[in-house]
Amino acid sequence: METIANITINGLATGMLIFLLAAGLTLIFGLMDVLNFAHGALFLWGAYAGIWAYTTTGSFLAGILAALVIGMVLGYLLERFIIKPVYGNHIQQLLITLGAMLVLSEVVKVFWGPNILQAQAPLWLQGSWEIGGLYLIKYRLFIIAVGLIVFLGLLFLLNRTKIGLIVRAGVMDKEMVQSLGINIRKVFLFVFMLGAAMAGLAGVLFGPYSGVIYAEIGLEYGILAFIVVVIGGMGSVLGSMVAAIIVGLLGAYAGYYAPDIALAVNFLIMLAVLIFKPSGIMGMKEAVR
């Protein structure tokens, strides 16, 4: 019983981390319809820059701040120079962001070297509480809390504020919003930077969670984020949350009970979802042409 509870908590934490990563992509891919393959690179940069700031200053909050800032700056640069010329063309978006992904992952190695970096949770998040055989690792609870805050914040932003209204309207009919005198380009740039900052945040939180970071996590987790967005359904923040938790929990259970298929679990879920309900669990947009 305790084992199952412990696995569930671990799975939830992993799911929340994946949600943080996927939430940014939900905004970029799901709402703005931009296939951003460089999302993993933003995550990677968040991890490296954040952990670097954290180890040099000794303050974890400084690390988080650095990750958010680097995410926003890179998001701005990507949107302005790489993605703007190819709005509306999926294949070109895919290819060009793939190129950006290659460049960004490689530049990380120039700055921080190709080797694995160690990362540890700050003192106040180390250790765990034990309640009747149940081990609550502090850092994982912290991730769950951050995930929930971001989730609620996003829902609030999209459903209750004017900017959320504009974004949702802009997704449905860009020209109409433009003709109402709102600069939709600026709104999209803002959304893109927000999504990028969230990828950076996921990156820096990932560091102490896994203990090590290396340049390949960019591609690995970028793909994972896409899987989650596809499972959850395009443009649905709630869908991403549900999908991320499913992926996290199933990954944790499979890791314990059937380690042989643990690696394939995500892909199997996505395969099943795409074959039986191509629009995703909570998807609104039609995936089949």
Partner 1 sequence: MKSLQKLSRFKLTLLVLAIGLAIFPFVSDSRTALIMLTQIFIFAVFAMSYDILLGYTGIVSFGHAMFFGIGAYTVAICLKMFGSTMPAFFIAIVLTLIITGIVSYLVGILTLRLKSHFFAMLTLAVSSLFLVTAEKWRSLTMGNDGFTFVVPELFRDRVSFYLIALVLLVGTYIFLDRFTQSPMGKVLQAIRENEPRVESLGFKVMHYKVIANVVAGMVAGLAGILYAMSLRFVNTAVLSVELSLDVLLITIIGGVGTLFGSVVGAAIIELARHGLMDLAKVHWIFERWVILFGIIFILVVMFFPKGIVGTTKHWWDKRQYKKKEKLRKEMEAGAVKDTFS
* Residue list 222-241, contact with partner 1 (CB under 8 A): 223, 226-227, 230
Q: How many other CB atoms are found less than 10 A from the CB of residue 76?
A: 15
Pick from 3, 4, 57, 109 the residue near partner 1 by CB under 8 A. 109
Q: Residue 229 in 3-state DSSP?
A: helix
Classify residue 286 as exposed, middle or buried by CB count within 10 Å of its CB (0-12, 13-18, 19+).
exposed
Structure tokens at 288: 């089949």
Q: Which two tokens stand for residue 258?
A: 């059937």
Counting Cβ atoms within 10 Å, is residue 66 exposed (0-12), middle (13-18) or buried (19+)? buried
Whole-number minimum distance, CB 113 to partner 1, in Å? 11
User: Of 6, 8, 55, 92, which lies in the binding site for partner 1, with binding defined by CB under 8 A?
Assistant: 92
Interaction between residue 276 and partner 1 (CB under 8 A)? no
| The one segment of 12-20, 61-69, 183-191, 218-226 that binds partner 1 by CB under 8 A | 218-226
CB of 133 within 8 A of CB of 2? yes
Q: Which stretch binds partner 1 (CB under 8 A): 178-186, 196-204, 242-250, 266-274?
A: 266-274
In the stretch 139-178, what mask flags binding to partner 1 with x, by CB under 8 A?
A: ----------------------------------------
Q: Using CB under 8 A, which of the segments 18-26, 92-100, 139-147, 196-204 binds partner 1?
A: 92-100
Rounded alpha-carbon distances, angstroms, from residue 144 to 120, 124, 200, 265, 275: 18, 16, 17, 22, 31
219 binds partner 1 (CB under 8 A): yes
Is residue 182 a contact residue for partner 1 (CB under 8 A)? no
User: In degrees to the nearest 10, what's the CA dihedral of 44, 45, 50, 52?
Assistant: 100
Which pair of tokens denotes residue 35? 């296939």
CA gap 123, 139 in Å, rounded: 10
In the complex, which residues of this chain contact partner 1 (CB under 8 A)?
A: 35, 82, 85-86, 90-92, 94-96, 98-103, 105-107, 109-110, 219, 223, 226-227, 230, 260-261, 263-264, 267-268, 270-271, 274-275, 278, 287-289
